[in-house]
Structure 1
Amino acid sequence: MIAEATYRGTVYPWHCDHVGHMNVMWYVGKFDEATWNLLSRVGLTPGYLRRSERGMAAVQQNITYKSEFLAGDIVVVESLLLEVRDKALRLRHDMRHGETGGLGATCEITAVHIDRRVRKAVAFEKAVRELMMPHLAIEPAMA
């Protein structure tokens, strides 16, 4: 599977810190929005999560910052589903400058599928796993 855009947005002046570039809290927020778009695309839709009383919880998130984003920059996040395990999945986001395509940051997340009633990790149902598998990517080399 090829990385697909899961977020597009703009860096506003209030996203910037005292150094003049986008503050880390906004990277996390934009990556979070991209995550929910990717999860929905692979079958973990809001409707499914509500009906089944399931959820996804991030248990590890690693961000690598490559270049600055400044006020007015366009941000595009492209995402890949890297791994599906019994109760968890791993995904990667590449945050790019919308104008140049240059890599600004990467984020890799491991998330666990949970039963919201008992607050415990549970296995993905077979039907959900089957929806996810066509989206599984072969991990590309880091850009």
Structure 2
Amino acid sequence: MTSTDTPEDALLRPTPFLSSVMQIEPQWIDYNGHLNMAYYNVMFDRAIDELWLKLGIGPAYMKGRHGSTFTAECHVRYLREIHLGDPVQVSILLVAADEKRLHTFEELRHATEGWLSATSENMTIHIDMSARKTAPFPADIRARIEAVASAHAAIPRPEGIGRKIAMPSK
């Protein structure tokens, strides 16, 4: 971000959204001496909440407009151990979007060394919280999402998008 950029300008660049740098909490370390698998999801969720704020679909949206998002599907890959003291940062690519869904791909990296620890691919659905059913995003929110999706369409797709779980073929 340059000194003349607004936060919206940065969001519309053809680069993934970057979360704030996060620290591993001591209670998240399991008996194997590394980050327990559940807390990868906590960090991915915290990062996505930061992006949702930029898109206008955070807590104020829920309270004022009675809309929210739910995760419908998630696929996490654990690639390299994270340990206590490792600073981490999540990049988020908005792979695709339609009137009710957001397809994101997140990468959790060591914040100072840059190596990839885990990825999370998610399908998120928009919910009308009054009816607790899927519903289209409002037009203003949809326009903001489309602008980010368009900017992210110019980004090369990282390895791992669209993977499935299966035993190796013989």
Greater Rg by CA: 2
1:22 alignment partner, SS class: coil
1:140 aligned to 2:153? no
Residues 96-120 of structure 1, C-alpha deviations (whole Å, 9 max, x = no match):
0012100000001111101111110
Structure 2 distance, partners of 1:104, 1:6, is: 15
Aligned residues: 143
Q: Are residues 12 and 48 of structure 1, via their aligned partners in 2, closer, same or farther at CA, if it must alter by over 3 Å?
A: closer
Residues 66-86 of structure 1, C-alpha deviations (whole Å, 9 max, x = no match):
100011100111112111112
Residues 98-113 of structure 1 mapped to structure 2, 5 A cutoff: 98-113=111-126
Q: For the Cα contact (< 8 Å) 1:61–1:107, is it kept in 2?
A: yes
Greater CA drift, 62-71 or 6-15:
6-15
Greater relative contact order, per chain length (Cα 8 Å cut-off, separation 6+): 1
1:49 alignment partner, SS class: helix
Q: For the Cα contact (< 8 Å) 1:7–1:78, is it kept in 2?
A: no
Partner of 2:167: none
Q: Return the TM-score normalized by structure 2.
A: 0.79
Which amino acid in 2 is paired with 1:120? K
- Runs ≥4 in structure 1, deviation > 6 angstroms? none
Q: Return the TM-score normalized by structure 1.
A: 0.93
Greater per-residue strand proportion? 1
* Structure 1 unmatched runs, 5+: none
1:64 aligned to 2:81? no
Partner of 1:47: 60
2:51 alignment partner, SS class: helix
Q: For the Cα contact (< 8 Å) 2:58–2:68, is it kept in 1?
A: no
The alignment-based identity, stated in percent, is 26
Structure 2 distance, partners of 1:97, 1:16, is: 16
1:29 aligned to 2:46? no
